[in-house]
Amino acid sequence: MTQGIVSTIADNTGAVVAGGASSLGALAFAAGQIPIPAGLPSELVWAAVTFGPPLAYFGIAILKATASYHVTRRLRAQERANKLLEAGHAVDDDDVERHLDAADHHASWASALGHATSEVDSARKRKAS
């Protein structure tokens, strides 16, 4: 519960900071306070200062959503494999192997995106008990 609240506050704070940095950057550019290196078009500097912070924030939000997607898909594939095993299917059954392979695939993506799946599993077990 508290992790959700902290995540919401962090997301909103990140959006406000990105918007504020973008506004300040645009104002500083308009006031001539940002030095432009020789040979660099001023439009490029303006675009970087104005749109850079929101794009960075948006990129991080996409990474978080992608990691959450892969964690959820891994958990669902693992649950399906467990249900098949409980129903009496063998471990080398095609359906079980397919779900276990999908769970491994999504676990590796979530890990590569920096989302610890073991923490999600332990939180889920605590919630269930």
* Per-residue confidence (pLDDT) for residue 111, from 0 to 100: 83
Residue 81 has pLDDT above 80, yes or no: yes
Residue 127 has pLDDT above 70, yes or no: no
Residue 62 has pLDDT above 70, yes or no: yes
Residue 45 half-sphere exposure toward CB, CA atoms < 13 A? 15
- Where are the domains positioned within the chain? 2-128
Burial of residue 5, with CB atoms counted within 10 A of its CB: 0-12 exposed, 13-18 middle, 19 or more buried: exposed
